[in-house]
Structures are given as structure tokens and as C-alpha cells.
Amino acid sequence: MTKRAPDVSASPPRRRSKYTLAPLVLIAANVVLFALFFVWPAVIGLVYSFTNYTGVGAFQFVGLDNYQHLFGDSTFFDALTRTLLYTVLFVPLNFVFSLLIANVLVSKHAKGVSVARVFFFIPWLLSPIVVGVLWRWLFGENFGLVNYLIEKVGGSAVPWQSNADLSLIVVVVAASWAWTGFSMLLFIAAIKNVPVSYYEAAALDGAGPWRQFFSITLPSIAPTSFIVILLNTIHGMKEYPLFASLNNGGPGTSNNLLVQYIYQTGFKAGQIGYASAASFVLMLILMAVAIIQLMVNRRVENR
């Protein structure tokens, strides 16, 4: 042990001193970009969140005023709760559908998998703006296909746009539809990595497809499930373009989400300091999500 130790510590410094220039040249461009577009904004964003900066001219430090105001601001709270509600609805819906589709796509028995895959994938390619336009077109109150079909089977037109909760649900469905392709890709890769012998052993023991799914597939792909939930949660928390084109946060302002709130206070109302404070609240939420997920993930892996 003691003999080997110097060897181990001796080799890295030699490599390090030999090659410093080449790696530095290689990462130089990215370091500059990182400093300009990440470190600098992050630092001034934090600083501005304690000021009353408007984007131009002088500003004063106001301490924690922005944060205090934020917690008394009902518009901010509405945006925050709406964002959380949206995420809580979107993530499970997307999870269930993408997992279901991934399972069907890897099934040996389904026919036409390679063609069907394209159908699930195209929505992911579309921009959130086009997805919003498309679902607005489907769910138009007076002209949409969905209401037409509902009336055709004897129902009455549903106020998809003028009821705040319904219009949120339309966005949830649209987002889940659009993001299935991506989550599905991750699930397919994970399911393919589950050893076939597990299923063979389970089949010999008489486990049916459902039992196999819940006892083998689901536990085996747990790490991927966590990544999917994490990425979708983060994505849901920052959703904006889809709302912008589907119902513009409407009806009225009832579905204004956090990013839209930041955009409006920061750029429309010119309250950069206040918007920066709101941004940091969003950041803290995202970090909390990431840390909780990491902790849960670790516990599952240790089990």
C-alpha cells in the first residue's frame, strides 16, 4: 500500500505539466462563452435582484425589498401556483404515455413499429409555437374539430378557451403530446437494456405481462424514470412559448406562468431588479427539484 501510493500521485502531475497548453486552447472558446453568457449574467442577476434597476440609468440597493414584495404580490403567487399546477399535471401524463408507448414500441408482437415511431416523434420536432397554434386550432370553441366532434355525438360545446382550468388542461395535453417523443426515446433505450433472461425466468415462474412489467421493467428502468421526471419537471417549470401561442396565458391573465411573469415585469414594465428576484425564486425551485430527485435517486440505487 505505502509503496504504491507515491506511484499513483506521481503520474498525474507529470501528465498535467506536460499538457496544459493544448487543452486550454481547446476549451478557450467555450470558456469565453461561459464567462460572458453564464457567469456574468448570473452574477449581475443576483446583484440586480437586490436593486431597483430598470435596465437603464442609475440604481439603488434596496436590500431584500424585491423579495419581500414578491411574497406579497398576488400576481406572482398566481403565476407560481399555476406553474406548479401545470407541472404537476404535465409530468405524470407525459410519463404514463411515453412509458406506455415505449413499451408497445419494443414489443416483439406489435407490427409496423418503425412507421408508428415516426408518428410519435413528429410532435417533438414541432416548435412550441406551432404546437400551440395546432392545438388552438383543434380546440377552438366555435370552430375547433374537438367541439365539432363533441356536438356530433350529442354533447354541447366545451368552453376550452374561456374557462381558465379547461384552457390549462388543453396546454397540459398539448405539452404532453409534444414531449412524448423525447421521453419515449429515453425509455426505449432503458427498456432495451433490461436483460432478456429476467423476463424468461419470470415467464417460467408463470408471471404474466402485467406482473413482468411491474416486477421487472419498472424497477429496472428506475434511473431513467427519474431522469425523465427531472427533465420534464424542469421543462414544465419554464414553459412559456406554448402558452404564448395557445392561449397567451388566457383567458385574461389567469394562466400567466412564471417565465411569462418574469418577461412581463422585466421587459414590459422595465423592472429588471424585481424580475431578477422572481428569476432567483424560480432558480431556487429548480435547484430544490434537482436536489430532491438526486436524493431519491440515490436512495433507490442503494436499496
Partner 1 sequence: MTTTDMPRKADADSARAVSRKRPRGAVGGGLRRAVPATTLLWVLAALYGLPVLWFVLSSFKPAGDLFSLPLTLFPEDPTVSGYKAAWDSANFSQYFINTAIVCVLATILTVGVSCCTGYALAKYDNKWLKVFFVGILATTMLPGEVMLAPQFLVVRDLGLYNSLAGIILPAVLTATGCFMFRQFFLTVPDELIEAARIDGARELSIFLRIMVPISRPIMLTLAILSFQWRWNDYIWPLLMLNDPEKFTVQIGIQSLVGAQNINWSVVLGGSVISMIPLIVVFLVFQRYVMNANINAGLKD
10 contacts: CB under 8 Å, gap ≥ 6: none
- Cα Rg of the chain, angstroms: 25
C-alpha to C-alpha distance for 249 and 268, rounded to whole angstroms: 15
| Helix ranges (DSSP H) in 139-271 | 145-152, 164-192, 196-204, 209-212, 218-220, 222-237, 241-246, 258-263
**Residue 150 interacts with partner 1 (CB under 8 A)?**
no
Crossing angle, helix 222-237 and helix 272-302, to 10 degrees? 170
Q: Near partner 1 by CB under 8 A, which window of 19-27, 81-89, 157-165, 214-222?
A: 19-27
- Within 233-252, the residues that bind partner 1 by CB under 8 A are 234, 238, 240-241, 244-245, 248
- Within 48-87, the residues that bind partner 1 by CB under 8 A are 48, 55
**Residue 95 interacts with partner 1 (CB under 8 A)?**
no
6-23 CB burial, b ≥16 within 10 A, e <16 = eeeeeeeeeeeeeeeeee
What character string, x for contact with partner 1 (CB under 8 A) and - otherwise, covers 106-145? -xxxxxxx--xxxxxxxx-xxxxxx-xxxxxxx----x-x
**Residue 296 interacts with partner 1 (CB under 8 A)?**
no
C-alpha to C-alpha distance for 18 and 8, rounded to whole angstroms: 17
For residue 210, the minimal CB distance to partner 1 (Å) is 13
C-alpha grid cell for residue 205? 415462474
For residue 197, the minimal CB distance to partner 1 (Å) is 8
For residue 203, the minimal CB distance to partner 1 (Å) is 12
- Within 171-200, the residues that bind partner 1 by CB under 8 A are 177, 180, 185-186, 189, 192-197
**Residue 158 interacts with partner 1 (CB under 8 A)?**
no
**Residue 101 interacts with partner 1 (CB under 8 A)?**
yes
For residue 173, the minimal CB distance to partner 1 (Å) is 10
**Residue 210 interacts with partner 1 (CB under 8 A)?**
no
C-alpha to C-alpha distance for 172 and 88, rounded to whole angstroms: 10
For residue 157, the minimal CB distance to partner 1 (Å) is 13
- Within 267-286, the residues that bind partner 1 by CB under 8 A are 267, 272, 275-276, 279-280, 282-283, 286
C-alpha to C-alpha distance for 282 and 270, rounded to whole angstroms: 19
